[in-house]
Amino acid sequence: MPQQASRLLRATSMQLIALGLLVLLNCSHPGRVQAQTAGEGTITGTVTDTTGAVIRDASVTATDVATNISATRTTTKDGLYSIAPLEPGLYTVTVEAKGFKTLKQENLDVVGLGVLGFNPVMTIGATTETVDVTAAPPVLDTDSATLGAVIENSAYSNLPLQASATQERDPTAFALLVQGAMPGTDGRLPSLSGTPGHQASLYLDGVPSETLNQQGDNRTVALNVDVDSVDQFQVITSVPPAEYMGAGAENFTMKSGTLQYHGGVLDLIRNTAFDT
Residue 190 to residue 184: CA distance in whole angstroms: 4
Measured at the CA of 178, the angle between CA 199 and CA 252, to 5 degrees, comes to 65
Per residue in 24-83, pLDDT (tens digit) is: 444 444 333 333 346 788 999 999 999 999 999 999 999 999 999 999 999 999 999 999
Could you tell me if 185 and 275 are in contact, meaning their C-beta atoms sit under 8 angstroms apart? no
Residue 245 to residue 43: CA distance in whole angstroms: 22
Question: What pLDDT, on the 0 to 100 scale, is given for residue 140?
Answer: 62
The DSSP symbol for 221 reads: H
Residue 221 to residue 15: CA distance in whole angstroms: 42
Most confident residue range from 10-19, 23-32, 113-122: 113-122
In CATH, the number for domain 39-133 is 2.60.40.1120
Q: State whether residue 201 is helix, strand or coil.
A: strand
Question: What pLDDT, on the 0 to 100 scale, is given for residue 33?
Answer: 33
pLDDT higher than 70, residue 18: no
CA 8 to chain centre: 48
Query: Which residues pair with residue 102 across a beta bridge?
Result: 130
- Mean pLDDT for the stretch of residues 101-124: 91
> Among 140, 141, 150, 246, which Cα is nearest to 193's?
246
Could you tell me if 109 and 136 are in contact, meaning their C-beta atoms sit under 8 angstroms apart? yes
- Mean pLDDT for the stretch of residues 121-144: 77
Query: Which residues pair with residue 73 across a beta bridge?
Result: 60
Dihedral angle computed from the Cα positions of residues 221, 172, 65 and 37, in that order, rounded to the nearest 10 degrees? 50
Per residue in 151-194, pLDDT (tens digit) is: 888 887 777 776 665 667 788 888 888 888 887 766 677 878 77
Question: Residue 210 burial by CB count (10 A; 0-12/13-18/19+): exposed, middle or buried?
Answer: buried
State the DSSP H helix or E strand holding residue 132, giving kind and residue range, or none if neither. Answer: strand 130-133
Q: Give helix then strand counts, H and E, for the chain.
A: 4, 17
Q: Place domain 148-254 in its CATH homologous superfamily.
A: TonB-dependent receptor, plug domain (2.170.130.10)
- Higher per-residue pLDDT: 7 or 244: 244
DSSP 8-39: HHHHHHHHHHHHHHHHHHHHT-HHHHHTT--S
Q: What proportion of the chain, given as a percentage, has pLDDT over 70?
A: 78
- Higher per-residue pLDDT: 19 or 240: 240
Question: What pLDDT, on the 0 to 100 scale, is given for residue 13?
Answer: 53
Check the CA dihedral 157-111-64-39 and report its sign: positive
Question: What pLDDT, on the 0 to 100 scale, is given for residue 223?
Answer: 81
| Boundaries of every domain in the chain | 39-133, 148-254
Helices (H), 131-274: 153-156, 219-222
Question: What pLDDT, on the 0 to 100 scale, is given for residue 165?
Answer: 58
Measured at the CA of 212, the angle between CA 210 and CA 215, to 5 degrees, comes to 50
Per residue in 215-269, pLDDT (tens digit) is: 777 888 888 888 888 888 888 887 777 777 777 788 888 888 888 887 777 777 7
Using alpha carbons, list the distances in angstroms from residue 37 to 23, 32, 94. 20, 10, 24
